Amino acid sequence: MVFERRLEDNLFEIQDELISGHYRHSPYEPFTIHDPKQRTIHKALVRDRVVHQAIINVIEPLFEQRFIHDSYSCRVGKGTHAAVSRLQGFFRQASKNGMRTIYAVKCDVRKFFASVNHETLLSFLAKRISDPDTMTLLRLIIESFSVTPGTGVPLGNLTSQLFANIYLHELDWYIKQKLHIKHYVRYCDDFVMLTSSRSEGFALAEKADAFLRGNLKAELHPNKLHVRTWSQGVDFLGYVLMPHAIILRPTTAKRMIDRVTETNSSSYFGLCAHANAYELECTVRNKLG
């Protein structure tokens, strides 16, 4: 609201700074959220968020056309529910509607946003962006934050969402083109590969981890690597996928029952709408009275 009181003056001021090369990113304001895992968000000033949005508007189309179809984080027409639905469809396809045993290799990149290497990210950006002024601005944005010197992007930036997809597109390409995995879904730093045996599943995870270490200076989280069959239930993005149902993760269901109020109920019912959760929805409605 304060920024908007002098909106035109503020926008022209930012424009002048960008044209003259005098623009500098302001410090971030950190705060902690629990969703339910504790995360530290770094919030930029409004004037910097305006610059972030302007950058996204211009460069995102250059990269969007290169992304694989089954990358679902922070893209128009994608999202968590589309990713879960796509993975369920892949299970049906790969298992021939349950006639074959299929294994899901569920992986998570360890502390992904904190591990993004600045120079590696800039090299990926430079593959599609030839304008030196734009690259200078992108370097300034990327170097405005670090967890350790030369490493890390803030969870709070709009640009970080695009940077994550650009960075992990290299992993997507490796898995699709080099490992030839047909059934693969990624949402940010969580991804699932389908295969026909448990041993092959662990072997694929080892290859993905080696690629991350060798090319992206990242690694898989060893405690979040799971190889399970569809019938055992595959936990992905807050849902558990099984042959005859998609249910909410038990911890999510418990949290819903514990915390639901009239104010947040529509959000929780939205989660239920994408799962086989009739009994849970009835329980929540009864609690609300």
Tell me how far CA of residue 36 lies from CA of 32, 33, 160, 161, in angstroms: 11, 8, 21, 20
Q: How confident is the model at residue 255 (pLDDT cuts 50, 70, 90)?
A: confident
Mean pLDDT of 245-258: 86
**In the block, which residue shows the tokens 């509607």?**
97
The answer for residues whose C-beta is within 8 angstroms of residue 24's C-beta and 6 or more apart is 17, 140
β-bridge partners, 105 = 193, 227
Q: Which uninterrupted H or E stretch holds 39?
A: strand 38-43
β-bridge partners, 239 = 236, 248
β-bridge partners, 148 = 151
The model carries a pTM of 0.91
Is the Cβ–Cβ distance between 204 and 212 less than 8 Å? no
- Average pLDDT for the chain: 94
Above 90 in pLDDT, residue 262?
no
> Half-sphere exposure of residue 75, counting CA atoms within 13 Å on the CB side?
24
Above 80 in pLDDT, residue 289?
no
Q: What is the dihedral angle through the alpha carbons of 131, 134, 135, 140, rounded to the nearest 10 degrees? A: 160
Query: Which residue, among 84, 122, 105, has the nearest Cα to 209 in the 3D structure?
Result: 105
The residue type at 261: T
| 195-222 pLDDT per residue, tens | 999 999 999 999 999 999 999 999 999 9
pLDDT score recorded for residue 264: 82
Angle at 205 between CA 204 and CA 206, to 5 degrees: 90
Percent of the chain with pLDDT over 70: 100
The answer for residues whose C-beta is within 8 angstroms of residue 76's C-beta and 6 or more apart is none
